[in-house]
Structure 1
Amino acid sequence: MEIELIKCHGSDNDFFIIDEITHEYVFTEEQRAELAKALCNRGSVLGADGILYIMKSEHADGRMRVFNADGSEASMCGNGLRCAGRYVCELLGTKEAIIETMKADLQVMEQTEIYSDVSTYLVEISPVSFRLEDLPLKLNTETLLEEKIPELSENLIFTALAVPNPHLVSIVDKEMLQTGIQEELSKKVNSPNQWFPDGVNVSFVNSLSPGNIYVRTYERGVGFTNACGTAMSASTLVTCLLELNELETPVNVYNNGGKVQCVVHKADGEYKIDLIGNATFVYKTMASVDLTNYTFSIGAKSDFGEQAAYSKLQQEAKSFLNQHLQG
């Protein structure tokens, strides 16, 4: 089977777009998962964090399904949604669109460039829930807001929330970032455990200065990733709850892949978050895939010529982080 692939990324959280709107691809659920495992394997000639299947929607401008590198399906992906949203907007010749995701229809809008020549989109991150049953997290309480889970750590303080992906967020100092505690903890809660039956994304957050935070995320189904859009959104919300940052005010969120901006809104007691960042298209190629054993070969790669501009943003972000995390 010949499949057109577009390699893209948001904050270096990278994906392959497979367009089921203009192509007559027909995949079973097993094939979607196995394709993700095969094409996203970093040991192959391709490699990525996941696949974005762009599909027709009965009520929105398009539908996005996200399959992680391990074949699991994510309910949402903020970095992926920027890329999917850009793709649908360009397909329709518009600057904004509504994209159907697993749990909500979300708005995507083209924005002023976050950095010169870097294609930038805003995506809505919602719904937000602090109910542990929505993650799910099995504790004898309804919410976990700046509290300890002694069985996981005697020192760390956590907030749990779904946006709608499940997240466990801890504000930490620079020294804690240098330890292996995050990896140890993350592997524990993403293996069979008594607390998170479906696993959870684990973020360590450092407040760099007012309006600037650093987020490092261990993403379920992926592991440590350069950036996780819903994690950066959830982490920004937590810093606003702790009054480290302010509602309705852009926060620069630095990550290992660059940076984005997040704005937390509150209306009628409900939160939603704007996630603003790059939607960079890297290259296009054709993959010839044998769907009986999921082996594949690829043709020539056609470069979009967009990565150089994003690399400059990365350099500036890295310099800023070095100044604040190593000082």
Structure 2
Amino acid sequence: MQIEFVKCHGSGNDFPLVDARALDLPEDAWVRLARALADRAGPVGGDGLLLLTRGDATHAFGMRMFNPDGSEAETCLNGVRCTARLGFERLGIAEARVLLKTSDAEAALQPELAPGVTTIRTRVGPVSTLASDVGLRIDAREVIDAPIPGFPSERAFTAVAMPNPHLVSFVDRVDEAELVALGDWCEAGPALLPARGNVSFVEVRGSAEAPALFVRTYERGVGLTNSCGSAMAASTYAAARTGRIAFDRETQVFNRGGMVRASATQAAEVTIAGNATFEWDGRISFDPETGALSALEVIGRRPAEVAAWDEMLATISR
């Protein structure tokens, strides 16, 4: 069968995005498609597979996100922006409530972050800091800027469910080797965290008057990644909850992939405004039974969008 898709990214978090509203494939076929399309050694590659799905009475459309290993994530906020843009374009609307795996998100077009950079705001929450919601099997009710009993690190963490699980630690300087070691430990599905989790090290930069966050994340099902939208959101909430930034104040949040503007409320809602960049459109042959891909065809490229994003990146400090 032929699969058409858009190659897109949010803050450098890149995906093939499929309008799946009229596609009825068995679950194992979606898993095979995700593994094939997101394979960096394959013809497309990405940090996962995004699906624009049908909505319901209260949601204009939905989103599903599969990691490169075929596991399905509860959410992906960089992916929500990209999926929302496609939904807006297909339905001729500018805002919507988006149905996710276990929750939902509000999305709306926003003024551009920079000329030519399509920008979408998403709002999610209330997020949870209950250890049980994060998937931690510990006696404590929650973990807020404290060591996690049984975790192979003495660092202080804040555990946040977006609803996907995040462990956020504020550091003076990101040590990638340490981050990868902790991420690998979580990825093994230990008894402490059997459903695995995302681990982020966060530097607070800027000044007291204008703080900024730099986030480096080991993403569940992906590994060390240049960008994870839900990690940026979790880090924003964790920073506000621990007094490192103010609630209800927009903060610039950076990672290796780019930048978003984010804020958190005391009611545990997080708002992120960031890019939804479409790079090129493609079509590929896919065998649902075997997962084999063949005959990639690039239908069209979007050089103006790519150039606008590259120009914006050149103006920001990461």
Q: The residue matched to 2:55 in structure 1 has which SS? A: coil
Whole-angstrom CA distance in 2 between matches of 1:126 and 1:151: 28
Once the two structures are superposed, the pairs formed by residues 124-273 of structure 1 within 5 Å of their partners are 124-149=123-148, 151-174=150-173, 177-209=174-206, 210-266=210-266, 270-273=267-270
Corresponding residue number in structure 2 for 1:324: none
Whole-angstrom CA distance in 1 between matches of 2:39 and 2:286: 14
Instruction: Detail structure 1 runs of 4+ shifted over 6 Å in the superposition.
Output: none
Corresponding residue number in structure 1 for 2:13: 13
State the Cα distance separating 1:20 from its structure 2 match: 2.1
Whole-angstrom CA distance in 2 between matches of 1:288 and 1:153: 44
Q: The residue matched to 1:44 in structure 2 has which SS? A: coil
Q: Is the 8 A contact 1:212 1:254 kept in 2?
A: yes
Q: Is the 8 A contact 2:142 2:159 kept in 1?
A: yes
State the Cα distance separating 1:313 from its structure 2 match: 1.8
CA RMSD after TM alignment = 1.3
Q: Cα–Cα, structure 1 residues 311 and 218, in superposed 2: closer, same or farther, change >3 Å?
A: same
Once the two structures are superposed, the pairs formed by residues 30-41 of structure 1 within 5 Å of their partners are 30-41=28-39
Whole-angstrom CA distance in 2 between matches of 1:253 and 1:192: 29
Whole-angstrom CA distance in 1 between matches of 2:55 and 2:218: 31
Corresponding residue number in structure 2 for 1:89: 88
Q: The residue matched to 1:170 in structure 2 has which SS? A: strand
Deviation by residue 1:40-81 (Cα, 9 ceiling, x = unmatched): 100011101111111111221001111111100001110000
* Structure 2 spans left out of the alignment, 5+ residues: none
Is 1:44 aligned to 2:29, yes or no?
Answer: no
Whole-angstrom CA distance in 1 between matches of 2:223 and 2:315: 25
Q: Is the 8 A contact 2:127 2:269 kept in 1?
A: yes
State the Cα distance separating 1:90 from its structure 2 match: 1.3
Matched to 1:26, the amino acid is D
Matched to 1:201, the amino acid is N
Matched to 2:120, the amino acid is Y
Corresponding residue number in structure 2 for 1:295: 292
Deviation by residue 1:9-47 (Cα, 9 ceiling, x = unmatched): 1001011111123xx322111011111001110001110
Whole-angstrom CA distance in 2 between matches of 1:194 and 1:105: 29
Deviation by residue 1:60-107 (Cα, 9 ceiling, x = unmatched): 100111111110000111000000111111112121111111122321
User: What TM-score do the two structures reach when normalised by structure 1?
Assistant: 0.92
Q: The residue matched to 2:265 in structure 1 has which SS? A: strand
Whole-angstrom CA distance in 2 between matches of 1:185 and 1:153: 7
Is 1:100 aligned to 2:99, yes or no?
Answer: yes
Q: The residue matched to 1:232 in structure 2 has which SS? A: helix
Q: Cα–Cα, structure 1 residues 154 and 119, in superposed 2: closer, same or farther, change >3 Å?
A: closer
Q: The residue matched to 1:237 in structure 2 has which SS? A: helix
User: What TM-score do the two structures reach when normalised by structure 2?
Assistant: 0.95
Corresponding residue number in structure 2 for 1:307: 306
Matched to 2:133, the amino acid is D
Whole-angstrom CA distance in 2 between matches of 1:192 and 1:286: 36
Matched to 1:224, the amino acid is L
Q: Is the 8 A contact 1:211 1:250 kept in 2?
A: no
Q: The residue matched to 1:97 in structure 2 has which SS? A: strand
Identity rate, percent: 35
Matched to 1:238, the amino acid is A
Q: Cα–Cα, structure 1 residues 92 and 179, in superposed 2: closer, same or farther, change >3 Å?
A: closer
How many residue pairs match? The answer is: 312
Whole-angstrom CA distance in 2 between matches of 1:125 and 1:190: 25
Deviation by residue 1:134-165 (Cα, 9 ceiling, x = unmatched): 12101111111111125434541111110111
